[in-house]
Amino acid sequence: MEMASILFGEDRVKEQPVTIGLINSFSPLGYSGEMLQALMEYARWRQPVIIAALAMAGSTGPITLAGVLAMQTAELLAGIALTQLISPGAPAIFGSTSTNIDMRSGALAIGAPELSLMIAAHAQLARHYGLPSRSGGALTDASYPDAQAGFESMLALLTTINSGVDFVLHAGGILSSYLAFSYEKFVLDDEMCGMVRRLQRGIEVTPETLAYDVITQVGSGGNYLAEMHTVKRCRTEFWQPAICDRSGVEAWMAGGRQDAVARARQRWQKLLEEHEDPSLDEATARQLQEFVEENK
């Protein structure tokens, strides 16, 4: 909060959100001292916090998903109540990434369909309590950005969006049940987010998009490629991938047979090469550096 005050000014930090904290419960039915201290500090400064649980059905929570929902809801409401006792009206988000364990290994299973069931149920509970929700993302248990990583991540992400979750963490780059990060998967997940965003936008229905006039004009047996209705919209009507390959098998073979991971690697390296850090006032940068040095 002190560093945020250097960057934004203490008055502004106390008047509006400039950051957000993630507070995790310690299932079953607890919070660590560090998390409680952080929660109370955020609440005193009236900065928003995500109060989240990651209970594991069968180990840190009941083996039934309904039981995990009951237990984690008690944890989350306790944390949210504490924020309001400290600072009534302080922003708080009702969060969950709970799922099951793999009963053969005891490992966390964030690529499981049970995760998606928990996401959907948690979003319903958030609406019941009138609270903003956090859950989901492009989550997988795979340790490489392969087909498993793709279909597990899409299931979790699409469930998150279709369930109306308000705040999404971990929408890019996660591998190996949160234990690893991949630059390649990060840009592949960005592609996935664009695809899901287009799906969420739906179909626009207006006199212009219904295209009655152009349908009449083209008639039977014609085509729409050269119509101005097509020309005006050809760059904006459809979602355009940056990594996905649509060239066909012959072009793919002639182009070196690159898979999605190789194309993703080229993309993140290009993005990194072209990146420029945002500008920061020299005096502010110096104050932040001095703060860091004094508090090491």
What pLDDT score does 115 carry? Answer: 97
How large is the average pLDDT for residues 199-221?
A: 96
Give the pair of three-digit tokens for residue 72.
């984690």
How large is the average pLDDT for residues 128-146?
A: 97
What pLDDT score does 118 carry? Answer: 98
pLDDT value at 14 more than 90 = no
Half-sphere exposure of 51 (CA within 13 A, CB side): 29
- The model carries a pTM of 0.91
What pLDDT score does 139 carry? Answer: 97
What pLDDT score does 152 carry? Answer: 98
How large is the average pLDDT for residues 208-237?
A: 95
What pLDDT score does 245 carry? Answer: 95
Farthest-apart Cα atoms in the chain, separation: 77
pLDDT value at 165 more than 90 = yes
Query: Across all residues in the chain, what is the average pLDDT?
Result: 96
pLDDT value at 287 more than 90 = yes
pLDDT value at 57 more than 90 = yes
- What distance in Å separates the CA atoms of residue 168 and residue 115, rounded to the nearest whole number? 14
Query: Which residues lie across from 99 on neighbouring strands?
Result: 56
Domain boundaries, the chain: 203-240
| φ/ψ (deg, to 5) at 167 | -130, 120
Find, among 94, 267, 283, the residue nearest to 187 by Cα: 267
How large is the average pLDDT for residues 64-88?
A: 98
What pLDDT score does 158 carry? Answer: 97
